[in-house]
Amino acid sequence: MTLVRFFKADGTLDKEVEAASGQRLLDIAWAERQPLEGACEGVMACSTCHVIVEAEDFAKLPPASEEEEDLLDLASHAGRTSRLACQIILADDLDRLSVRIPPAATNWMGR
């Protein structure tokens, strides 16, 4: 199991959850009712699952694909450690993964 920490846009901790390795961060966010839209459900056709990853955790992630980098260019409030939640797969070395939901995140799909 891996601990995932979701922070609000203002930096305050919103929720800490245990999740199994191998799960997509986007699926965990939806299950925990975090305000990530994920409009394309992970087929890399939007940037609405954008999260800002804590720098130490960002360094542990596999590099983003060129396609992911292109989508991040379209994301609101993207920064140096931004990633798409649909592309982050939990692994044991990501324990205490900390992500912040950007201020422009919306939950249009009602999740």
Residues that bind ligand FES (CB under 6 A): 26, 38-42, 44-49, 71, 84, 86
Q: In this structure, which amino acid lies at residue 106?
A: T
State how far the Cα of 2 lies from the Cα of 9, in Å rounded to an integer. 22
Smallest separation, CB 43 to ligand FES (Å): 7
Q: Are strands 82-84 and 97-100 parallel, antiparallel or unpaired?
A: unpaired
Q: Which is nearer to ligand FES, 45 or 104 (CB)?
A: 45
Q: Which is nearer to ligand FES, 3 or 40 (CB)?
A: 40
Smallest separation, CB 111 to ligand FES (Å): 12
Residue nearest to ligand FES (CB): 86
Q: Which of 47, 90, 91 is nearest to 69 (CA)?
A: 47
Question: Contact 64/101 with Cβ under 8 angstroms?
Answer: no
Q: Which is nearer to ligand FES, 19 or 29 (CB)?
A: 29
